[in-house]
Amino acid sequence: MIERIRGLGRSTLVQVGDLGRASLLLFQAIAGRSQVGVHWRLTIDQIYAVGVLSLSIIIVSGLFIGMVLGLQGYTILADYGSEQALGQMVALSLTRELGPVVTALLFAGRAGSALTAEIGLMKATEQLASLEMIGVDPLRRVVAPRFWAGVISLPILSLIFVSVGCLGGALVGVSWLGVDAGSFWANMQASVDFWNDVFNGIIKSVVFAVVVTWIAVYQGYDLVPTSEGIARATTRTVVYASLAVLCFDFFLTAVMFGEV
Amino acid sequence: MPDVVAPFVEIENVVFRRDERVIYEGLSATIPRGRISAIVGPSGTGKTTLLRLIGGQLRPESGDIRVDGISVQGLKRDALFTLRKRMGMLFQSGALFAELSVFENVAFPLRVHTTLDHDLIRLVVLMKLEAVGLRGAVDLMPAELSGGMQRRVALARAIALDPEMIMYDEPFVGQDPIGLGVLLTLVKQLNQALGLTSVVVSHDLQETLSIADHVIMIANNRVAFEGSPADMQASADPLVEQFLNGRPDGPVRFHYPAPPISEAVS
């Protein structure tokens, strides 16, 4: 019994310590003197690596999710004779929920794991240590550009996901199932509010971006520099980031849409 | 050779622990200026750790490490990075930046720390690469080089800013006899030509002793021997003797601590 309580205490301490180290890492990487000018190029490179290279998976997933929404929505709405509301349904589900959440989950799997593995490999091959010895802070040089790239890319990817999803919904609803194009788009336009729906969706994806990228760079920076350590840390990134996204989504939704 | 050279690095009574394991228990040593110092000792005694302590990448629990009179462990981040510009370090794996070419790797410290223009950087990089015999490899990527060549490029990078001291972490590991000979010559030449203070961590004992002016042997959490290679050869200390002659049993035991075998098998 005592042993169990001790174990609980120990694991709590480890977790609090982890959180502290992660916060310190983020603080040291992005706080203090701004080096945006010097590191802008590096950030651009990283935006290409985490953002542009994630485009294909985001577009394909967005298209399919939109098409599924169109199909499922149509069968349900048709029961009540309100197929015209399909555009509204597809757009609202995407902007409020599916866009930010699914994009963040895909991003954690595609870009987050890659970030962790890359930083981890740099640690394992002593590249981080050698940056330090050259007198360059790896937190600023390696971690900060990757962090900013994630924070900038994910919301944009999320917007692209939503747009492509709407097109997918239209493809199925209008071109295939025969919903009137005019009412599909008009309903969508009338019901989606920029501040309430689109902007809240963007806020969500900015929060997810910070959480996912932060977890990814921390796991990479803090891992045990062996092949096993890198494998574990990559898995942890995807698991923790996905859980964090879903958990934060609930609270954000409660705050944003809970009073209606 | 007179042995009264001003020290470049002074290590005083350093205690260092990693988790629960004691690495150093009151370790003191000096590294003379402008000479080649060898840090030798059995594997796992924390020879590399000593380099990391000198470079300020790790901090001792207590004790003092002074580089050219400056206490390393008390330094703030910025001051530490400034001090590191005066030291170069060659890592075991070379640690070249994989996404940069040989040229960019060597140019990296120059670009970060100086305001030299493009032509001047090119000149310096080519000179440094010439010194390690790899000017011809200037446009290759690190992945296209052999392990020994990677280490030489890393060496060129380490001396790019003309440091006062260079630390070599196991430079001879995994080298064929030719590569080893090349590196030995380079370490020696750089030391003489540039007046560098050199610290070589290695367990290739004979090779290292052949170029060293000063030997620090670490064993059992402290300095087991410090002095010239000749003194080391002449030492009557059983530990030093066991190490020099490569005997499997002696003060450093062959058996990992365990209860007597009669108890274990009964």
Q: Taking CB atoms and an 8 Å limit, are A132 and B57 in contact across chains?
A: yes
Q: How far apart are CA B74 and CA B234, in angstroms?
A: 39
Tell me the pLDDT of chain B averaged across its residues: 87
Bridge partners, residue B214, by sequence: B37
pLDDT band at A68 (very low <50, low <70, confident <90, very high): very high
**A180 close to B (CB below 8 A):** no
Q: Annotate A17-67 with DSSP letters as a single string.
A: HHHHHHHHHHHHHHSSS--HHHHHHHHHHHIIIIIGGGHHHHHHHHHHHHH
Sheet strand arrangement including B197-201: B87-90, B165-169, B197-201, B36-40, B214-219, B222-227
Q: Taking CB atoms and an 8 Å limit, are A129 and B95 in contact across chains?
A: yes
Residue of A nearest to B154 (CA): A130
Chain A contact set for B84 (CB, 8 A): 132-135
Report if residue A19 sits inside a domain: no
Q: What is the pLDDT of residue A260?
A: 55
Report if residue A22 sits inside a domain: no
Residue A150 belongs to what domain range? 35-257
Q: How far apart are CA B212 and CA A152, in angstroms?
A: 53
| Mean pLDDT of the region A163-170 | 96
Q: Taking CB atoms and an 8 Å limit, are A126 and B93 in contact across chains?
A: yes
pLDDT band at A32 (very low <50, low <70, confident <90, very high): low
pLDDT band at A34 (very low <50, low <70, confident <90, very high): low
Chain A contact set for B97 (CB, 8 A): 127
Q: Are B96 and B161 in contact (CB under 8 A)?
A: no
* Residue range A37-50, pLDDT digits in tens: 667 888 999 999 99
pLDDT band at B220 (very low <50, low <70, confident <90, very high): confident
Q: Taking CB atoms and an 8 Å limit, are B85 and A135 in contact across chains?
A: yes
Q: Taking CB atoms and an 8 Å limit, are A130 and B92 in contact across chains?
A: no
Chain A contact set for B75 (CB, 8 A): none
Pairing label, strands B214-219, B222-227: antiparallel
3-state secondary structure of B38: strand
| Mean pLDDT of the region A184-205 | 94
Q: How far apart are CA B15 and CA B225, in angstroms?
A: 18
Q: Which of residues 163-182 of B touch A (CB under 8 A)?
A: none
**A135 close to B (CB below 8 A):** yes
Report if residue A26 sits inside a domain: no
Could you report the predicted ipTM of this complex, rounded to two decimals?
0.82
Of B77, B84, B95, the CB nearest to A125: B95
pLDDT band at B1 (very low <50, low <70, confident <90, very high): very low
**A130 close to B (CB below 8 A):** yes
Q: Is the pLDDT of residue A36 over 70?
A: no
* Residue range B241-261, pLDDT digits in tens: 888 888 888 777 777 878 888
Find the range with the poorest average confidence among A130-134, B79-83, B171-175.
B171-175
Which uninterrupted H or E stretch holds B217? strand B214-219
pLDDT band at A35 (very low <50, low <70, confident <90, very high): low
Q: What is the pLDDT of residue A66?
A: 96
3-state secondary structure of B215: strand
**B79 close to A (CB below 8 A):** no
Chain A contact set for B96 (CB, 8 A): 127
CA–CA min distance B189, chain A (Å) = 22
Q: What is the pLDDT of residue A49?
A: 93
Report if residue A244 sits inside a domain: yes
**B222 close to A (CB below 8 A):** no
* Residue range A121-147, pLDDT digits in tens: 999 988 999 998 888 888 888 999 999
Residue of A nearest to B107 (CA): A134
Q: What is the pLDDT of residue A134?
A: 87
Mutate to test the interface with B, among A25, A133, A142 (most CBs of B within 10 A): A133
Q: How far apart are CA A206 and CA A200, in angstroms?
A: 10
Q: What is the pLDDT of residue B255?
A: 79
Q: What is the pLDDT of residue A44?
A: 93
Counting the structural domains of chain A, the total is 1
Of A130, A135, A137, the CB nearest to B91: A130
**B91 close to A (CB below 8 A):** yes
* Residue range A80-100, pLDDT digits in tens: 999 889 999 999 999 999 999
* Residue range B111-158, pLDDT digits in tens: 888 889 999 999 999 999 998 889 999 999 999 998 888 988 999 999
Q: How far apart are CA A175 and CA A162, in angstroms?
A: 19
**B114 close to A (CB below 8 A):** no
Report if residue A216 sits inside a domain: yes
CA–CA min distance A122, chain B (Å) = 8
| Of residues B19 and A115, more confidently modeled | A115
Q: Which residues fall within 8 angstroms of residue B98, CB to CB, at 6 or more apart? A: A125, A127, B141, B142, B143
The closest alpha carbon to B183, from B159, B215, B148, B212, belongs to B148
Q: How far apart are CA B116 and CA A76, in angstroms?
A: 69
Chain B contact set for A125 (CB, 8 A): 93, 95, 98
Report if residue A100 sits inside a domain: yes
**B4 close to A (CB below 8 A):** no
Q: Taking CB atoms and an 8 Å limit, are B113 and A135 in contact across chains?
A: yes
Residue of A nearest to B155 (CA): A130
**B75 close to A (CB below 8 A):** no
Report if residue A107 sits inside a domain: yes
Q: What is the pLDDT of residue B2?
A: 47
Report if residue A209 sits inside a domain: yes
